[in-house]
Chain A
Amino acid sequence: MSNKNTRGWRLLAMLLALAMMAAACGSDVTDAVDGATDAAGDAVDDATDAAGDAVDDATDAAGDAVDDAMGDDDAMAACEGMDDVTLQLQWFAQSQFAGYYAAVAEGFYEARCLNVTIEEGGVDIVPQQQLGSGAADYAISWVPKALGSRAEGIDIVNVAQIFQRSGTLQVSFKDSGISGPGDFSGKNIGSWGYGNEFELLAGAHKAGLDESADFTIVGQNFDMLALINGEIDAAQAMTYNEYAQVLETINPDTGELFTADDLTVIDWNEEGTAMLQDAIWADGTKLGDAAYDDQTTRFIAASMEGWMWCRDNADACVNHVLDAGSTLGATHQTWQLNEINKLIWPSAGGIGVMDQGLWDQTITVATGEGVLAEAPDAEAFTTQYADEAINLLGDSDTTGDSWSPVTVVLTEGGE
């Protein structure tokens, strides 16, 4: 009996030890999170100092934008406490979201009395659901996807249309002879699915082709291996990500990187079936509440400052993005920011202001392809907050008419 007795106690002691280790580990996780928050806080402080220094340099191109921010800072020296704001992204940290990271790092949010936390996306995290559930205050989402959620009853409103163009391409090798959607006939056409296929389907329908009879839609991973292996004839690719990945890959036949000359691209903006992508969405149930309205305007204004800063200080901006993820490649993210800038600038009506024509085109494609059963109501987007934000920004260059893209040379692996 005594033997069994000690064994029983030993088992209990083991369990207790496990539980204590768990508690220790649990607090470890919390500590790590705390540490990260502190680090982020420090980074913001440093960045604010840096922004302050930059103001001194009146000849700096960024001077104007920062100047305005600091001007407001003076006006808001009596910040009556900071508003905590959570922004939900659609995916991991990358230059696609550079403007928001820069606005945190350069202190643009802080200058407008906002304490912004950026939540990265995950495979199953739907930004508009995070927004609807109250877990986030604002979310970045593509227009057709967000409108789908809105049609399902999540009251979200497009308050700033950041990207004015679609970044989706259909990429194929030159020898496949696909130069437009009309050439899809008899081919295997890759798509990520999950709502990413509608620009391409609309383009094909426009060319008189039908996916059930004339060509095959093939499910595609988020890498470009299927195209390189020849399993599909044309692959879906974002200008700022997957397209660059092809150019960062060694062509097994030549031992050199693939080049743009090896590829043909179909750009849905040119085909007239492009749909609007990244926009800032707000909680429709809270809009109209004075405090949330004011916070929304300030959030958009500071985000715009972030994007303008990234337009005018691309290299420094990429560094802020790289700081947000340890596996990000520098040349890939530099390429990505350049392509993102192309999607934003020029913004004819000012950054964030909806282009009615592109909205209408998005709705036409979405209803035509059955993404939406009917056109959304007039409250689905508003330019009120973007307009007010632009007013706050004074004479900053919110249209970016004079901006021109640079040429980024990609390296193997995008490092």
Chain B
Amino acid sequence: MTSPSLDPIRFGKPAYIYRGLQQVGMILLGIALLVAMWEGYKAFGAWTDGTWPGTERELPVPSDNLNMPHSYDIVKQLFEPVTRRADETLFSFLFKSAWFTFKMAFLGFVIGTIVGLALAVVMLRSSWLERGLVPWINVSQTIPLIALAPLVVTWGRGSFLSDTQSVAVIAAYLTFFPVAVNGLAGLKSPDAQALELMRSFAAPWSKTLFKLRFPAARPYLFPAFRLAAALSVVGTIVGEISAGVKGGVGRVVLDYAGKYSTGPERLYGSILAAAALGLFVFGIITLAEKILMRGQVGGNA
């Protein structure tokens, strides 16, 4: 068992685990740094009495416990009951809210991905449609979401959509954009030689699309998916807040923002939940990329 040369297959797995541990370590280090900066700023503020040293000029944010609660108080609050009469901890309440938001965001992500890919294929097929559609696709992203969200919800109520489905549509509105734009670039990415080879086989357009263009588009699509996943969470939270949909993390953030002065730790807790949700969807896409891009060199476009 003492082979003199390092066998890449035998040592592949431990290296993979090692990389994973390294990644977790970096995340923990990042959190530790953030906490240190937060508490450091508070300590600095307490030391100077809230002003820049040697001046009367106030610090940009007051460092007292009302404006910036201690990080350990925020964590402690997570394990206190939501309200005095509830058995549920804030943590479990936030977890449920984040899951509720995740479901809407995921639906939005899927709708947005399908629409985005469909647009990319349509634009690939006809340069005439591409010229016609691209300006509209760009314009679509300049319309403020908060102007659109209440309209979608009102239309949804007038038709067959529930409010949660309307929120998913709002999320899809944000997510289709990067998928369509990067998807088109990716579908166009195979070089002329590869396309000519397909042509020499007399491969129909659809075969070329699925066997050459889509596989070639993957390095373009995954960055778009990562962006789309983050946008789907943002879109869902904005949609929830705008439409007053109950049960998700957006509503909780808004609720606690309104009660900020009476419980700042709760608002920070709910913001942490929203951030964790963002990390979670990011992780899912990264995992999917790892699986689907296995054996490919240069995973990123």
Q: Which stretch of A121-129, A199-207, A209-217, A344-352 is in the interface?
A: A121-129
User: Which stretch (B5-13, B30-38, B105-113, B120-128) binds chain A?
Assistant: B105-113
Q: 8 Å CB contacts to B: which residues of A95-120? A: 119-120
Query: A223–B82 contact, CB under 8 A?
Result: no
Q: How far is the CA of A1 from the CA of B273 in the complex (A)?
A: 45
CB of B62 closer than 8 Å to a CB of A: yes
Contact of A29 among B67, B82, B162, B263 (CB under 8 A): B162
Is A222 on the interface with B (CB-CB < 8 A)? yes
Q: State the Cβ distance, A178 to closest chain B Cβ, in Å.
A: 20
Chain B interface residue bracket vs A: 35 or more
Secondary structure at chain B's binding surface: helix, strand, loop or mixed? helix
Contact of B215 among A11, A125, A223, A228 (CB under 8 A): A11
Q: How far is the CA of A30 from the CA of B164 in the complex (A)?
A: 8
Question: A380 interface residue, CB < 8 Å from B?
Answer: no
- Check if B185 is an interface residue, CB within 8 A of chain A: no
Which residue of the partner chain, among A18, A122, A221, contacts B243 with CB atoms under 8 Å?
A122
Are B246 and A25 touching (Cβ within 8 A)? no
Chain A's closest residue to B246 (CB) is A120
Chain B CB within 8 A of A413 CB: yes
Contact flag A22-B106 (CB < 8 Å), given A29-B162, A30-B162, A225-B66:
yes
State whether A134 and B88 are in contact (beta carbons under 8 Å apart), knowing that A29-B164, A123-B242, A326-B82 are contacts in the complex.
no
Contact of A415 among B84, B104, B158, B162 (CB under 8 A): B84
**A225 adjacent to B67 (CB under 8 Å):** yes
Partner of A18, one of B93, B113, B255: B113
Report whether A228 and B261 are in contact in the complex, using a CB–CB cutoff of 8 Å: yes
Q: Contact between B244 and A26 (Cβ–Cβ < 8 Å)?
A: no
- A150 CA to B242 CA, complexed, in Å: 23
User: Is B258 in contact with A223, judged by CB distance below 8 angstroms?
Assistant: yes
Interface size class of A (residues with CB under 8 A): 35 or more
By the criterion CB–CB under 8 Å, are A327 and B255 in contact?
yes
Residue A52 at the chain B interface, CB threshold 8 Å: no
Closest to A248 in B: B262
Shortest CB distance B289–A (Å): 11
Asked if B114 contacts A19 (CB within 8 A), the reply is yes
A33 touches B214 (CB 8 A): no
Q: Which of A2-10, A261-269, A389-397 contacts B (4 or more CB under 8 A)?
A: A2-10
Q: Is A208 interfacial (CB 8 A cutoff)? A: no
Residue among B62, B111, B241 having the largest count of chain A Cβ atoms under 10 Å: B62
Query: What are 29 A-B pairs at a CB distance below 8 A?
Result: A4-B215, A8-B210, A11-B292, A19-B110, A25-B106, A25-B107, A26-B107, A29-B103, A33-B164, A121-B244, A122-B241, A122-B242, A122-B244, A123-B242, A124-B242, A124-B243, A133-B158, A222-B257, A223-B261, A225-B260, A245-B259, A245-B262, A326-B83, A327-B82, A327-B93, A327-B252, A327-B256, A332-B262, A415-B83
